[in-house]
Amino acid sequence: MPQIFREALGHDLPASDYFWAELPGGIVAALAFGAARRFAEPLAALRWLHFLMAAGLTILGAATALFASGGVGIVAFYTLISVGLYLAYSVMGIGLYDRLIAASKVSGTCVGLTFVSDGLGYVATISILLFKSFGSFHGSYLGFLKAFALATSVGGVALVAVSMTYFERKLATGMQADKAQRRTAPPDDGQHE
């Protein structure tokens, strides 16, 4: 990040400025994720978490467009993208997978899904660092960030929409089958053999 600020401002920022710029993102993400507790129905919570991811990715894209058009400065841009990224990323993982498993009524835990998604996140991070260190990138870091943020925003919102549509249909079909099974099952008389 220092390269981006150096490129935009002509100088580095004190380390404390990074903390203050990212603090709103952490607070917003924690409050929004905590609001998922108000949903007793797992499918409703799953919808909420998908909405949060889409909202975060939309904030990421809007902040990038605002910065590119001169509507906000570099510090506001950094603060807004941290809000968007924290919001989108914080729900992606255990919270989302836990609600997905609860809504699907599959017995199990979300440990495997979390392991795979964390691993893919590490691979992406290391790939970017390797590209930055050893690649033949001679462009602007700020330009790279803007392009990457816009691509992530547009692609991410599309993928979140596909994900929610898929799970909405799949889980609704499963719920209808459960209701039909309950209607055709003989009543439980309380006596077990």
Give pLDDT tens digits along the chain (193 positions).
666 777 677 667 777 887 888 899 889 988 988 888 888 888 888 899 999 999 999 999 999 999 999 999 888 998 999 999 989 888 877 788 888 888 888 888 888 888 888 898 899 889 888 887 787 767 778 888 899 899 999 999 999 999 999 998 888 776 555 555 655 656 665 565 5
Give residue 191's pLDDT.
61
Please report whether residue 106 resides in a domain. yes
Q: Is residue 186 part of a domain?
A: no
Q: Which domain holds residue 97?
A: 2-180
Does the global pTM surpass 0.85?
no
Position 80 in a domain: yes
Residue owning tokens 């203050």: 20
- 75 is a domain residue: yes
Any domain includes 193: no
Q: Per the domain annotation, does 16 fall within a domain?
A: yes
The predicted pLDDT at position 110 comes to: 82
The per-residue pLDDT for 123 is 93
| Residue 124 belongs to some domain of the structure | yes
Count structural domains, the chain. 1
Whole-number pLDDT of residue 2: 64
Evaluate whether residue 190 is within a structural domain: no
